[in-house]
Structure 1
Amino acid sequence: MPDLSGIVKAYDIRGVVGEQLDAALVRDFGAAFALLIKPEAPAVVIGHDMRDSSPGLASAFAEGVTSQGLDVVSIGLASTDQLYFASGSLNLPGAMFTASHNPAKYNGIKMCRAGASPVGQDTGLAEIRDTVEQGVPEFEGQRGTVSERDVLADYAAYLRNLVDLSGNRPLKIVVDAGNGMGGHTVPTVFGMGSAARSASAEGGGGGMDGLPIDVVPMYFELDGSFPNHEANPLDPANIVDLQAKVREVGADAGVAFDGDADRCFIVDERGEPVSPSAITALVAVRELAKDPGGTIIHNLITSKGVPEIVAEHGGKPVRTRVGHSFIKAEMARTGAIFGGEHSAHYYFRDFWRADTGMLAALHVLAALGEQNGPLSDLTSAYSRYAASGEINSTVDDQVAKMMAVKDSFGTRPGVELDELDGLTVQLPGGAWFNLRPSNTEPLLRLNVEAANAEAVQGLVDEVLAIIRS
């Protein structure tokens, strides 16, 4: 039997095309997915990103699905949140072909049940892996059919219906699509028109239909080789061009999307990054204004300012592990109206509890346009503490290093420990850090927060000295 543990991750399937993933294996994954969801749905909706390998792999997956008697609805080129929209609005399970921000040689499959409900290791992905490893049984009945459906305009209309931008003051924003799927979705969501699309290479732009927002596009050409920079806006190196363009054109804000455009990252009018925790708090306040007393989910590496601000606005903050399957499960359990992660994933009850960076970006623009101050002033109210960002360390023994940190800090007076996800250490005076092992690499991931940058650096140095000794 093949060993698929190297490519079947916690939340998706991902690997190097031609080495770990090929059409025959993907066909088997499609058939196994069909077997999993056959009792629940008559068809599967499939979308794919702009990578050279994506159309062929999506077609192979569709062949596997139809081989088990289920139909396929192909939506073609799509962002991941556009696939979630299709799954939710059509009430069908779905599969999205993307490797997000990974290099061009990679591809992968994100799967969901009807209503964009996640499929992870504990909710079907392990079962799919086992079926493929053991050999997919043949189906003797009639094969399913494949039909095509364009949902982009409906997706855009749905999002714009959730956030009212009609009263905005005039804004100029720069959008960096990173040659990813934002180049496909942003022009339609922002109503840029064909002239603005064709002007993107020359730095031209366009406004939203009937709305005073001027968009300056960057790297909208779909290109899975990512010729300008990696499509991962959480890496500071990948937003340098956006920061420079915001300053150059005097924009009010900048927005960067990752490769499959389900995450967004914001920079202010100075070109300075806005913490995803601050965006989480800002959007949470807006959602609570619509639904007073609602529950807001935040993962355990978001700023402690998030639950403080949620509580101050009458909401109920709920802390959870890092990862979309945990966020979505907790949203379902609590009936939460919104959830945010420090990785710039934002989840909305009104979007089938799925993550959509586009909807979060619209909220930021609405909040900015409703007042006269700059974005830096607006977001400063949601940025209460200094943070390190995620710091990765390669280690030979994750468990031993985690235990060394636990032993060092656990005996100190006033220190509180919890192990909900890795090790979280709360220190007297309010500083804290979380140390988590990577599921796929020999890494430990450190996040630190304290009152100021000097206190953050001191704590970072202390923890890294233990980890890297």
Structure 2
Amino acid sequence: MANPITCFKAYDIRGELNSQLTEEVAYRIGYAFAEELDAKTVVVGSDVRLTSTPLKLALSAGLIDAGAKVTDIGMAGTEEIYFATKHLGVDGGIEVTASHNPINYNGMKLVKAGSIPISGDTGLNAIKERAEALSDKFVNGRLAHYFNNETVDANAFFNGNAHIHKDLLSSTGQYEESSCMSDYVEHMLSYVNLDNFTSLKVVVNAGNGSAGPALDAIEKAMLANNVPIEFIKVHHNADGTFPNGIPNPLLPENRADTADAVKASGADFGIAWDGDFDRCFLFDADGEFIEGYYIVGLLAEAFIEKNTDSKIIYDPRVYWNTEAIVANAGGTPIKSKTGHAFIKERMRKEDAVYGGEMSAHHYFRDFAYCDSGMIPWLLIAELVCVKKQTLASMVKERIKAFPSSGEINSKLNDADAALERVTGKYQPLASVVDTTDGLGLEFGTWRFNLRKSNTEPVIRLNVESKGDIPLMEEKTKEVLALIRAE
């Protein structure tokens, strides 16, 4: 291949369409994936983006030509691929998704058998090398075959028109379309006792992403079991043009539609998902956004109540609240480096029942140690019913006890220099120095974590205190001023 493939990242594949990620590149990735894993069976799915189906079909062609049988579960969220890979007992799974990236991007998330993640040093780099090594003549010839010998540009697919003919994939005998939705829903509902549910009204905002169909299937099953739940649906229909913007509730400017619907409908709480719904974000009955940090504590406590002596994995950005809750409930808190590959690896090593990150990624042992955007809200809904408390009341005391700044990003000319400035001033004063991920320093009643981005000149700051909001705010301003003093 004349030029290197540039869409491979540390944990997944993401790239700009037509320049970094094309149908040709997707074919190469599929072929290389099957070769590297010696995969004979692979499940594939794609999010709602218009370009995801063309990429998925090209990917499938590569998988087939390398000897794999492909099961296509259609439009799906990333967690549906995680579920299908484990449930069907196949050799690997690939979800075509760009999650919350801009419309002119797409990507892929890859797992091995058992839904074990594939990252740079666990196979992703090797797949990249194999993909690049395939001869242009071979790849172009196979694409021409699957394009039914039409004269087309494998790069010009941004309008979402699939160049690969699905009937040619099917004619190989190595491609089939199948659905795991009913089994997926049954598994989702296994995390809660439906008899515990009392009357609930919940706002759900799929952001026109892939969450809508999965939520509909869960709703149907809940109603069939006489669960008294009502969903108020916002931007619910799957639409790859994203008429209401790319779904990314982590951005404050993207929360108003959910918050307004909660207040207008008098809902008990609200839920919003990102594009491939591997993350869910919660709002209380007043429409207030709840930071993922405090949801980690809630879910940890819920699991420990059901499984005494449970091990709980958490990330090192903010953790005082999580540690306090887990220790008080009788569980074992275990700190892990941030990132899904690290969290999942540590969970497997410890056999932890649950892991949570402040970024709203929640991981579950019984879900192949993978993250899910559906399991968390189901557990929260059950908690609200069982405890007979509002979501706000369950978190407000924790927020008061351990107020946090939320993650604050600073784009700089020289991130290394900023890190040196902060280290030089604060590390000599710290009572605890933690380098699990970035720089974590504790000062008795307050602490902060500073992480440098691996891909851009950005510093990420998180500050928390023990029961002192003014102190947390003061120290946040103080550290930020030093970071940005270029």
Instruction: Confirm or deny a common fold (TM above 0.5).
Output: yes
The yes-or-no answer on 1:373 pairing with 2:371 is: no
Moved >6 Å (runs of 4+) = 136-139
Partner of 2:347: 331
Alignment of 1:290-369 (within 5 A): 290-369=306-385
Q: Please state how far the C-alpha of 1:120 moved relative to its aligned partner.
A: 0.8
Mapped to 2, the partners of 1:184 and 1:302 lie a distance apart of 34
Task: Give distance in 2, aligned partners of 1:394 and 1:5.
Answer: 27
CA distance in 2, matches of 1:232, 1:302: 21
Which residue of 177, 183, 192 corresponds with 1:148?
177
Q: Using the TM superposition, give the Cα deviation of residue 457 of structure 1 relative to its aligned residue in structure 2, in angstroms.
A: 2.0
Structure 1 residue aligned with 2:201: 172
Q: Is the 8 A contact 2:31 2:66 kept in 1?
A: yes
Deviations 1:279-322 (A, max 9, x none): 11111112112221011100112331101111111111100111
Q: 2:464 aligns with which of 426, 440, 449?
A: 449
Total equivalences in the alignment:
450
Cross-structure match for 1:130: 129
The amino acid across from 1:166 in the alignment is: D
Distance 2:310 2:202 in 1: 31
Aligned residue number for residue 97 of structure 1: 96
TM-score (norm 2): 0.89
Once residues 374 and 176 of structure 2 are traced to their aligned partners in structure 1, the CA distance between those partners, rounded to angstroms, is 27
Q: Report if the CA contact (8 A) 1:13-1:109 is conserved.
A: yes
> Are the equivalent residues in 2 in contact too, given 1:418–1:425 (CA < 8 A)?
yes
The answer to whether structure 1 residue 115 and structure 2 residue 124 are counterparts is: no
User: Secondary structure at 2:236's aligned position in 1?
Assistant: coil
| Shift of residue 258, structure 1, vs aligned partner | 0.6
Unaligned runs of 5+ in 1: 194-206
Q: 1:187 to 1:115 in 2, by over 3 A?
A: same
Residue matched to 1:44: 42
CA distance in 2, matches of 1:408, 1:8: 37
Matched, 1:28 2:28: yes
State how far apart, in whole Å, the 1-side matches of 2:397 and 2:58 are.
49
Take 1:160 and 1:326, find their aligned partners in 2: how far apart are those partners? 27
Read off the aligned partner of 1:314 and give its amino acid letter: G
Inter-partner Cα distance in structure 2 for 1:255 and 1:2: 46
Once the two structures are TM-superposed, the CA of residue 162 in structure 1 deviates from its matched residue by: 2.1
Q: Matches of residues 421-440 of structure 1 in structure 2 within 5 Å?
A: 421-429=437-445, 431-440=446-455
Q: Which residue of 2 aligns with 1:11?
A: 11
Partner secondary structure for residue 432 of structure 1: strand
Instruction: Tell me the residue number matched to 2:142.
Output: none
Partner of residue 69 from structure 1, selected from 67, 73, 82: 67
* Amino acid in the other structure paired with 1:452: D
CA distance in 1, matches of 2:75, 2:293: 30
SS in 2 for 1:82: helix
8 Å Cα contact 1:263-1:346 kept in structure 2: yes
CA distance in 2, matches of 1:136, 1:434: 46
Distance 1:373 1:67 in 2: 56
Q: Following the alignment from structure 2 to structure 1, what is the Cα–Cα distance between the partners of residues 438 and 108?
A: 26
Q: CA deviation at 1:166?
A: 2.2
Letter in 2 for 1:439: N
Verify: 1:53 aligned to 2:51, yes or no.
Answer: yes
SS at match of 2:255: helix
Partner of 1:75, secondary structure, is strand
CA displacement 1:12-35 (0-9 Å, x = unmatched): 100111121000011001111111
Which deviates further from its counterpart, 456-465 or 326-335?
A: 456-465
CA distance in 1, matches of 2:356, 2:298: 10
Distance 1:17 1:58 in 2: 14
Which segments of 5 or more consecutive residues in structure 2 lack a partner in the other structure? 140-171
Identity of aligned residues (%): 37
Deviation at 1:208, TM superposition (A): 6.6
Q: Write out per-residue CA displacement over residues 372-417 of structure 1, whole angstroms, 9 at most, x where no aligned residue.
A: 22221122354331111111111122222211111111222x4432
Matches within 5 A, 1:397-408: 397-408=414-425
Bigger mean CA offset, 419-428 vs 305-314: 419-428
Scaled by the length of structure 1, what TM-score is found? 0.92
CA distance in 1 between counterparts of 2:396 and 2:30 reads 47
Matches within 5 A, 1:153-164: 153-164=182-193
Larger displacement relative to structure 2 (336-345 or 418-427): 418-427
CA distance, structure 2, for counterparts of residue 23 and residue 3 of structure 1: 15
Contact map agreement 2:31 2:59 (CA 8 A) in 1: yes
* Counterparts of 1:15 and 1:452, CA distance in 2: 43
CA contact (8 A) 1:415 1:428 kept: yes
Q: Does the 8 A contact of 2:32 with 2:130 survive in 1?
A: yes
1:386 partner SS:
coil
Judge which range, 295-304 or 58-67, deviates more. Answer: 295-304
**1:303 and 1:385 in contact (8 A); partners too:** no
What letter corresponds to residue 408 of structure 2 in structure 1?
A: I
Residues in 2 aligned to 1:439 and 1:12: alpha-carbon distance in whole angstroms = 14
